[in-house]
């Protein structure tokens, strides 16, 4: 259900007065505001969370539980002013998804031109995610159980850029690109805390293919890497030993090919944690991830998907037996309607080798499995972890 709000511009020019009314009539040709969102909750079973099995409720497994307001005002036949404000929440408790952030998912304003492209300013997703991450496992398998282990490569919606400026081109013969710069806001240093991202994508007939780059600079925090002031950067047992990096660089490519009711996908990512003199580790750490997926539309009501990923860390910082993670993910959906979906998710991950613990170099520990990004704070105490979910998602 969408609500269209019609604004009277004469009231907007009066101080402290705003007039808006919900109507069922078509939106004005000049301006409109839409309320939208999702509510998603599931029963989850994990065979091992820090040494114990667990049965619990978890939100946002198929679609993030959220609500938002987006709007536009037509300024000319080709140009519009746009904005989008979105907040995540936990329907199990009513709490904010991220404490202290009223609009934690994104909040931006911009200008959109059908011929020249779009420029937006604010808290936003990166081109890396929007153009390439959406071709990966999260779109077809969900981030909760389908994201690559610990979302090490940021294919899910974990990374957002504060204080950023983004340009996205229009599609030209199926090709579109985007670039982004996030201001660090650290006095005396333009680079510290900043973020740079760029991506290019082609959509033509059955083929979609994209490549992307993301580089995030630390503000100097040795406790935990906090790119561009974002609390959403994925932290887990996979990368806890490297969060004091001076720079995190991510390069990724993904491709999908559609044949009838089937979608086949391949992806690759390379993530590098580069230290400096203040970091708690000495050598660059590299994670390479290879992924494959298949999705099948059985009928209008039923969707199935499966995926496999292999992640390997580099042998560095005193580690000879580098960490390796193998994950298999499954998804089954039943659509009651366009807005209401019943879903089941299952995933299994096996970890082997060694990695760094939170203490940095010298603190070498066994690699611990982390299914998708739903178990980032609750890895298994054994080399294996299994997670199953059964839930309901409703869009409005």
**Domain ranges, residue 155:** 3-395
CATH of the domain at 289: 2.40.160.10
Give the separation between CA 3 and CA 204, rounded to whole angstroms: 34
Structural domain total, the chain: 1
How many other β-carbons are positioned within 10 Å of the β-carbon of residue 280? 20
Residue 11, C-beta contacts closer than 8 angstroms, at least 6 positions apart: 17, 18, 19
- Is residue 42 within 8 A of residue 391, CB to CB? The reply is yes
Per DSSP, 128 falls in state I
Which residues contact residue 152 at a Cβ distance below 8 angstroms, ignoring those fewer than 6 apart? 234, 236, 238, 239, 269, 271, 287, 289, 311
d(CA 296, CA 259): 10
Type and span of the H or E element at 59? strand 52-59
Chain centroid to CA 66 = 14
Is residue 390 a contact partner of residue 344, using CB atoms and an 8 Å limit? yes
350/149 Cα distance (integer angstroms)? 10
Name the DSSP letter for residue 370: -
C-alpha closest to that of 89 among 81, 100, 97: 97
Buried b (16+ CB within 10 A) or exposed e, 350-382: bbebbbbeeebbebbbbbbbbbbbbbbebbbee
Write down the residue that tokens 């082997």 correspond to. Answer: 352
Which residue from 222, 238, 212, 230 is spatially nearest to 370, judged by alpha carbons? 238
Tell me which residue of 298, 291, 297, 294 sits closest to 306, measured CA to CA.
294
299/277 Cα distance (integer angstroms) = 57
The Cα–Cα gap between 251 and 293 comes to 19
Helix (H) / strand (E) element for 343: namely: strand 340-352
CA angle 261, 264, 267 (to 5 degrees): 150
* CA–CA gap between residue 321 and residue 314 (Å, rounded): 9
| CA max distance for the chain | 69
Per-residue pLDDT of the chain (396 residues; tens, 9 = 90+): 444 444 343 333 333 333 333 333 344 458 999 999 999 999 999 999 999 999 999 999 999 999 999 999 999 999 999 999 999 999 999 999 888 888 989 999 999 999 999 999 999 999 999 999 999 999 999 999 999 999 999 999 889 999 999 999 999 999 999 999 999 888 888 898 899 999 999 999 999 999 999 999 988 776 655 544 454 568 899 998 998 899 999 999 999 999 999 999 999 999 999 999 889 899 999 999 999 999 999 999 999 999 999 999 999 999 999 999 999 999 999 999 999 999 999 999 999 999 999 866 678 999 999 999 999 999 999 999 999 999 999 999
């Amino acid at each position: 259900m969408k609500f269209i709000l019609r604004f009277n511009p004469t009231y907007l020019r009066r101080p402290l007065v705003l007039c808006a009314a919900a109507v069922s009539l078509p939106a004005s040709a000049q301006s409109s505001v839409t309320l939208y969102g999702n509510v998603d909750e599931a029963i989850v079973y994990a065979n091992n969370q820090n040494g114990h099995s667990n049965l619990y409720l978890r939100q946002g497994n198929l679609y993030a539980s959220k609500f938002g307001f987006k709007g536009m005002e037509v300024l000319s036949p080709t140009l519009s002013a746009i904005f989008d404000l979105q907040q995540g929440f936990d329907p199990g408790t009513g709490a904010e998804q991220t404490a202290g952030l009223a609009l934690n998912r994104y909040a931006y304003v911009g200008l959109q031109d059908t011929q020249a492209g779009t420029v937006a300013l604010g808290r936003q997703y990166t081109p890396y995610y929007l153009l390439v991450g959406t071709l990966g496992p999260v779109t077809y398998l969900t981030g909760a159980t389908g994201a690559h282990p610990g979302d090490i490569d940021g294919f899910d919606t974990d990374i957002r850029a504060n204080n950023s400026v983004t340009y996205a081109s229009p599609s030209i013969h199926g090709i579109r690109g985007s670039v982004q710069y996030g201001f660090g806001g650290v006095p005396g240093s333009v680079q510290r805390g900043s973020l740079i991202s760029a991506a290019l994508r082609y959509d033509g007939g059955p083929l979609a293919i994209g490549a992307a780059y993301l580089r995030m600079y630390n503000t100097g925090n040795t406790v935990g890497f906090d790119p561009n002031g974002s609390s959403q950067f994925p932290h887990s047992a996979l990368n806890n030993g490297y969060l004091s990096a001076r720079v995190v660089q991510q390069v990724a490519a993904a491709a999908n090919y559609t044949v009838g009711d089937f979608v086949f996908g391949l992806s690759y990512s390379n993530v590098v944690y580069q230290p400096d003199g203040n970091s708690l580790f000495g050598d660059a750490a590299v994670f390479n991830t290879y992924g494959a997926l298949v999705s099948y539309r059985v009928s209008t009501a039923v969707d199935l998907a499966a995926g496999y990923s292999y992640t390997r860390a580099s042998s560095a910082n005193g580690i000879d037996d580098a960490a390796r993670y193998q994950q298999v993910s499954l998804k089954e959906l039943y659509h009651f309607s366009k807005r209401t979906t019943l879903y089941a998710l299952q995933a299994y991950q096996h970890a082997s080798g060694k990695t760094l613990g939170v203490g940095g170099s010298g603190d070498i520990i066994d690699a611990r499995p982390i299914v998708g990004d739903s178990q980032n704070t609750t890895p298994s105490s054994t080399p294996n972890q299994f997670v199953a979910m059964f839930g309901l998602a409703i869009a409005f």
